[in-house]
């Protein structure tokens, strides 16, 4: 069965974030979870969809629209300054996201540019870091990705 364009994007984003430098995230970036599962061992990342801020699809069969993805990264806290590791983890994730925005200045952009061309643009917000709580014993960061995608509303499986 074919995968929808949105699922293709989420899978590409998951794979890309597993390669964050300095962190072992192989099989530790999860989609569709709003909070960590009991088996989660830090560091790990959760990706989840956020509600749209603006809907502007009136009578457009092929529409360019923002899609908001929340990213939360969990890591063991520092004993003295609990959120310091979260700040470093967030910086590494931002650097990794920067790689998909770098067209290399070449006439032929790298393979992972804009998640392999699945999206038109990606914006990464500033993010925030939080002290851990009793459910995770981890500090974490939260940031929002705004992915601009062109979607065929009549055929969400189409590459457009």
Q: How would you write the pLDDT of the chain (160 residues) with one tens digit per residue?
A: 789 999 999 999 999 999 999 999 999 999 998 777 776 789 999 999 998 876 655 567 888 899 999 999 999 999 999 999 999 999 999 999 999 999 888 788 899 999 999 999 999 999 999 998 777 789 999 999 999 998 888 888 887 6
| Domain regions of the chain by residue span | 5-54+62-152
DSSP single-letter state for residue 45: E
Average pLDDT of the chain is 91
> Helix-strand-coil percent breakdown of the chain, rounded to 5?
20, 30, 50
Q: What is the pLDDT of residues 64-73, one digit of tens each?
A: 899 999 999 9
What pLDDT, on a 0 to 100 scale, did the predictor assign at position 35? 77
Q: How far apart are CA 100 and CA 121, in angstroms?
A: 10
Query: Residue 48 is encoded by which pair of tokens?
Result: 């989840």
What pLDDT, on a 0 to 100 scale, did the predictor assign at position 76? 94
Domain made up of 5-54+62-152: CATH architecture? 2-Layer Sandwich (3.30)
């Amino acid at each position: 069965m074919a995968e929808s364009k949105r699922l293709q994007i989420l899978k590409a984003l998951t794979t890309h974030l597993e390669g964050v430098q300095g962190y072992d995230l192989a099989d530790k970036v999860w989609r569709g979870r709003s909070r960590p599962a009991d088996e989660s061992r830090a560091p790990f990342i959760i990706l989840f969809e956020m509600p749209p801020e603006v809907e502007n699809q009136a009578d457009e069969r092929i529409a360019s629209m923002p899609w908001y993805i929340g990213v939360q990264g969990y890591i063991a806290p520092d004993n003295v300054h609990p959120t310091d590791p979260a700040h470093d983890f967030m910086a590494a994730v931002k650097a990794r996201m920067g790689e998909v925005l770098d067209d290399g200045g070449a006439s032929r952009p790298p393979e992972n540019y804009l998640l392999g061309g699945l999206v038109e643009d990606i914006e990464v917000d500033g993010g925030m870091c939080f002290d851990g709580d009793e459910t995770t014993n981890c500090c974490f960061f939260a940031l929002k990705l705004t992915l601009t995608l062109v979607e065929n509303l009549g055929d969400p499986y189409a590459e457009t």
